[in-house]
């Protein structure tokens, strides 16, 4: 049973996003130093500082909750409520001066993502998703979070962060999906899912995804009318196969799953 997501939880998530924005934005295009983690992925002082500050807020406001951050691991792993933090999703974009990254803040309850924020600190754009509610999008450019619902696969705009990511795919049937879509656009990291929620992108197929990469995005995409799952159509799980499929409509999602499951 999914619990009621209280205003307190949404307020704390918003506070985390506001604080992370104030930490991350001043480092953008400032020649920030980059280190490589054990998995060869990049990390900067912006990632680490933002996560430390967000952890401090959670320790003060919701000490009974667990925290699982990309940079500093997991605390209070037995708690039903777990906050998953990715301070800079898309570090490669961040360090090369492209505003196609974001801060991801997710709240899981017993393994299910129930609240998510995607914040783009440079553009000042934010998506807030809560399970069972419509996604709220704020931007100086205006716009509403609503996916495109009547798009056939042949007309679908497809996206993936990088070709290298798909080298780790469990199979190569994504190539058929790519072939049948209107076109594939590379790049975007979490920001691409925000664009899907705005109806600019229709389909995303990725793999090698950690729970902090997709947790915040599930309530956002679903609250805008879309669907997210693993490639086989099953619900995303923290111990799943690391594949992620997002589609703007249930019909497009069903078609994509059919192709990805074809023998």
Distance between CA atoms of 14 and 262, rounded to whole angstroms? 42
Q: Please report, in range form, the residues annotated as the binding site.
A: 70, 86, 89, 213
Binding site residue list for Mg(2+): 70, 86, 89, 213
Cβ(168)–Cβ(211) below 8 Å:
no
Query: Within its chain, how far is the Cα of 193 from the centroid?
Result: 7
State the Rg of the chain over Cα: 17
CB 67 within 8 A of CB 83: yes
Using CA atoms, how far apart are residues 17 and 103, in angstroms rounded to an integer?
7
CB atoms within 10 A of CB 178: 16
Measured between alpha carbons, how far is 202 from 152 in angstroms, rounded to an integer?
10
Residue 115 is inside which H or E element, if any?
Answer: strand 112-120
């Amino acid at each position: 049973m999914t619990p009621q997501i209280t205003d307190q939880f949404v307020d704390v998530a918003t506070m985390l996003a506001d604080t992370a924005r104030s930490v991350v934005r001043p480092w953008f295009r400032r020649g920030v130093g980059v280190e490589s983690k054990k998995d060869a992925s990049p990390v900067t002082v912006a990632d680490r500082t933002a996560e430390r500050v967000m952890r401090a807020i959670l320790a003060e406001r919701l000490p009974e909750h667990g925290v699982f951050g990309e940079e500093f691991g997991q605390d209070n792993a037995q708690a039903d409520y777990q906050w998953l933090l990715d301070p800079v999703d898309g570090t490669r974009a961040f360090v090369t001066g492209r505003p196609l990254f974001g801060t991801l803040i997710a709240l899981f309850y017993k393994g299910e993502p129930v609240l998510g924020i995607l914040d783009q600190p440079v553009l000042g754009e934010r998506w807030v998703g809560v399970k069972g509610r419509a996604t709220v999008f704020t931007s100086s450019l205006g716009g509403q979070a609503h996916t495109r619902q009547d798009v056939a696969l042949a007309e679908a705009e497809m996206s993936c962060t990088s070709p290298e990511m798909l080298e780790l795919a469990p199979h190569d049937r994504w190539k058929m999906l790519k072939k049948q879509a209107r076109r594939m656009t590379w790049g975007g990291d979490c920001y691409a899912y925000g664009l899907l929620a705005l109806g600019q992108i229709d389909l995303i197929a990725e793999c090698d995804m950690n729970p902090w990469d997709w947790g915040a995005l599930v309530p956002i995409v679903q609250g805008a009318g879309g669907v997210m799952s693993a490639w086989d159509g099953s619900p995303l799980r923290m111990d799943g196969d690391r594949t992620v499929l997002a589609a703007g409509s249930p019909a497009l999602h069903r078609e994509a799953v059919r192709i990805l499951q074809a023998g």
